[in-house]
Amino acid sequence: MIKHLLCLIILIISSVSVRAESSTSREITPCIHYETRQQGHVHISRIDLICPSIRLLGTLPHNSDTTSNFAYKNKTTVAINASFFDENRNPLGLNYSHQRTWRTSKKDQKQYSFLACTKENQCLIESFNQLTPYQKQWDIVVSGWQSLQNGQYRCAPSSPAICHRNAKSRHPRTAVGLSQDKRFLYLVVVEGRLDNFKGYTLNQLAQLFKQLNVPHAINLDGGGSSTMVINNKRVNRLPSQQMFFERAVANHLGVVDEQ
């Protein structure tokens, strides 16, 4: 009896291990593709910006909330957390949502790079170590910290030393990137601070974008903020100490497929 029980336990463990090793890939809608890598710890959503049914959403100023609540309220197909923020949950760097912004986020700073998109989903990622004024045709702007280029992270010369310390440690991560032809927007969330998976360094994250043939991406707020929600379901695990409690963040980036 004990021998049979041990065999059953080994079989169950083996089955779980096989599932854990495999990656998944599926179509959320004809315009949104989702896959996982690294035994399910890395979550990648690819949005086809050419699709006329795709609409990008941002958080209106002073509407700090969890990513799940933002996704539910706005009926998003995919949503992630966005910019780093201060102690008052004001996003850092240049940030606009539907041409509205926070008092502290009206100007770009060299140590932050941003993603900007028009209502027609024409998007760009700001070049490294640049100062760029806000342009009225941009409907959504979210800022990140380190730039991710050709498999390596870069901190602007004006960035404090913590920029490099954050980059070299393994943490949960959130990032956004654009394909070379700017057709595909990539939203990435990496889990971390788990017993069996600590997260990614920023060079690991940059290497992931290189594998996706994305030449330029930016690192958004990570750690306990990192969250991806698809069709009202959080797909990533939170750090072990958080259990199931999501962190409220300053702003978010949402995608709605209206077809």
Query: What does the alpha-carbon distance between residue 57 and residue 26 come to, in Å, rounded to a whole number?
Result: 23
* Any domain includes 18: no
Owning domain of residue 38: 24-257
Tally the domains of the chain: 1
Query: 179 pLDDT exceeds 50?
Result: yes
* Residues shown for the chain: 259
Q: Is residue 3 domain-resident?
A: no
The residue to which tokens 């043939």 are assigned: 213
**What's the confidence (pLDDT) of residue 58?**
98
**DSSP of 57-123, one letter per residue?**
EEPPTT--B-HHHHHHHHT-SEEEE---B-TT-PBPSS-EETTEE-GGGSS--TT-EEEEEETT--E
Q: Is residue 95 part of a domain?
A: yes
Backbone angles phi, psi at 165, to 5 degrees: -60, -45
In a domain, 94, yes or no: yes
Q: Which band of pLDDT confidence, cut at 50, 70 and 90, is reported for residue 22?
A: low
Q: Are 217 and 77 in contact (CB under 8 A)?
A: no
State which H helix or E strand residue 24 sits in: strand 24-29
Q: Is residue 19 part of a domain?
A: no
Section 6-25 average pLDDT: 45
Q: What's the whole-number mean pLDDT along residues 86-112? A: 97
In a domain, 180, yes or no: yes
Across 14-24, average pLDDT = 47
Q: Is there a domain that residue 1 lies in?
A: no
User: Which residues are bridge partners to 114 per DSSP?
Assistant: 143
What does the pLDDT average to over 68-88? 98
Domain assignment of residue 15, yes or no: no
* pLDDT tens sequence across 48-76: 999 999 999 999 999 999 999 999 999 99
Mean pLDDT of 145-158: 96
